[in-house]
Structure 1
Amino acid sequence: MAKYFDVHPDNPQPRAIGQVVGILNDDGLIAYPTDSCYALGCRIGNASGIDRIRDIRHLGAGHHFTLVCRDFAQLGQFVQINNVVFRAVKAATPGSYTFILPATREVPRRLLHPKKKTVGVRIPENAVTQAILAELGEPMLSSTLLLPDEEEPLTQGWEIKERLDHAVDAVIDSGECGTVPTTVIDLSEGEPRILRVGAGDPSRFE
């Protein structure tokens, strides 16, 4: 049964955040709010957590997982960025964008796209997510909480708790979350390619 945390959206309670991070460090899987919509998250090294996300979402081998990073310095440890890409990503973060970029050796192989050796990265503008990342001290492996055969992600913490009670270890509720996932930009080959139009304004990459 999943633990349920009612967290203030602007000033998340340190005790609750500490308990959430304790669950992550024990290789738990959480459902948490972001600046776009709810997501599933676990530690990068949590192999069983990755499998659980795949099972919940019915994901294939070609799915791009996302590393949710606290800041640009952390992001730069996990992806390769040239000067042009650096400026483009820096100008759009934090925000509702996911960038597909070539991964560094810091990223476990099982997280990479099997052919391209790329990974998704993002820096969210959400106080609760940022508090979790600050306490965790490393990026969180993440995927949008979009269930199979459903067109929109779940938006309410209580509903997620009800439907995924035995599939996740914790649900963080900080009020209603959005339904629009991030805008996904592929920068792995230099020129930006918009793979999905979402919450972030895509016009700066067109």
Structure 2
Amino acid sequence: MAAEFIKLYPENPEIKKIQRIVEVLRDGGVIIYPTDTVYGMGCDIHKQRAVERIAQLKGIKPKKHNFSFICYDLSDIADYTRALSTPVFKVMKKALPGPYTFILEANNQVPKILNSNKKTVGIRVPDHPVPRLLVKELGSPILTTSIRDEDDVVEYSTDPELIYEKYKDLVDIVIDGGYGKNVASTILDCTGNQIEVVREGLGSVEDIL
């Protein structure tokens, strides 16, 4: 059965549609959704089979891949990470919501969820109402990974209709939130003594460090 194609306007997302998408996530569904950077693919972090489906779609092993979690705000982060140092917390407070991924030390909850021995987890709080509302309504983070394009010129797919055509038989819902960007988030590794820039993306490093 083809995936549902649901249009959600970022300015005023319809709560009924949000609830429908959350229902699918609770049921172990895989969705594609807009963020403040590129379109992402995700599922409820507690649904093991859905996590495995995403890994299969991306041709990766769940234990080896660096998945990130989308959280509603900073208060959710403590459930999955070890205590943050004051400097890291200050930077995160300044940067989020925004186009940044913070790599943090994982606590014991994360390995259970992803069935791996990973010591770190990526945390995202995007500046976009759709994924944040989904997380809030779901009551737990969404596992997220970017949708890459095989195109040599365009690294990320930005047109939701083309994304739907490509993934309609592979996922359960594709959300049309308008054209996405084609620059990914800036990744900051906060697991060492200094915050290290792993990838400079849409988020300005100078603005927050």
The TM tier, using the shorter chain, reads: over 0.9
Alignment partner, residue 170 of structure 1: 173
Alignment partner, residue 9 of structure 1: 10
Alignment partner, residue 27 of structure 2: 26
Task: Kindly indicate whether the alpha-carbon contact (under 8 Å) linking 2:48 and 2:114 is maintained by their aligned counterparts in 1.
Answer: no
- Structure 2 unmatched runs, 5+: none
Cα deviation 1:123-174 (Å, max 9, x = unaligned): 1110111221121111111111114576512112111110011111000001
Counterpart CA distance in 1 for 2:107 and 2:77 is 11
Alignment partner, residue 137 of structure 2: 135
User: Could you say what secondary structure the match of 1:202 adopts?
Assistant: coil
Task: Kindly indicate whether the alpha-carbon contact (under 8 Å) linking 1:65 and 1:143 is maintained by their aligned counterparts in 2.
Answer: yes
Task: Kindly indicate whether the alpha-carbon contact (under 8 Å) linking 1:63 and 1:113 is maintained by their aligned counterparts in 2.
Answer: no
Alignment partner, residue 105 of structure 2: 102
Counterpart CA distance in 1 for 2:198 and 2:119 is 17
The one-letter amino acid paired with 1:177 is: G
Counterpart CA distance in 2 for 1:200 and 1:106 is 28
Q: Report matched runs for 1:83-162 at 5 Å.
A: 83-109=86-112, 111=114, 114=117, 117-147=119-149, 152-162=155-165
Cα offset, 1:190, TM superposition:
2.8
Cα offset, 1:106, TM superposition:
2.2
Counterpart CA distance in 2 for 1:74 and 1:24 is 18
Task: Kindly indicate whether the alpha-carbon contact (under 8 Å) linking 1:35 and 1:96 is maintained by their aligned counterparts in 2.
Answer: yes
- Structure 1 unmatched runs, 5+: none
Inter-CA distance 29–157: structure 2 relative to 1 (3 Å threshold) = same
User: Could you say what secondary structure the match of 1:19 adopts?
Assistant: helix
Counterpart CA distance in 1 for 2:115 and 2:93 is 23
Question: Could you tell me the percent identity over the aligned residues?
Answer: 34
The one-letter amino acid paired with 1:172 is: I
The TM-score with structure 2 as length reference comes to 0.91
User: Could you say what secondary structure the match of 2:104 adopts?
Assistant: strand
Alignment partner, residue 66 of structure 1: 68
The one-letter amino acid paired with 1:82 is: S
State the aligned residue count. 205
Cα deviation 1:97-125 (Å, max 9, x = unaligned): 001110112223463874x6101001111
Counterpart CA distance in 2 for 1:113 and 1:120 is 14
Task: Kindly indicate whether the alpha-carbon contact (under 8 Å) linking 1:57 and 1:147 is maintained by their aligned counterparts in 2.
Answer: no
4+ residue segments displaced more than 4 Å: 147-151
User: Could you say what secondary structure the match of 2:165 adopts?
Assistant: helix
Counterpart CA distance in 2 for 1:163 and 1:201 is 32
The one-letter amino acid paired with 1:160 is: I
User: Could you say what secondary structure the match of 1:141 adopts?
Assistant: strand
Alignment partner, residue 41 of structure 1: 42
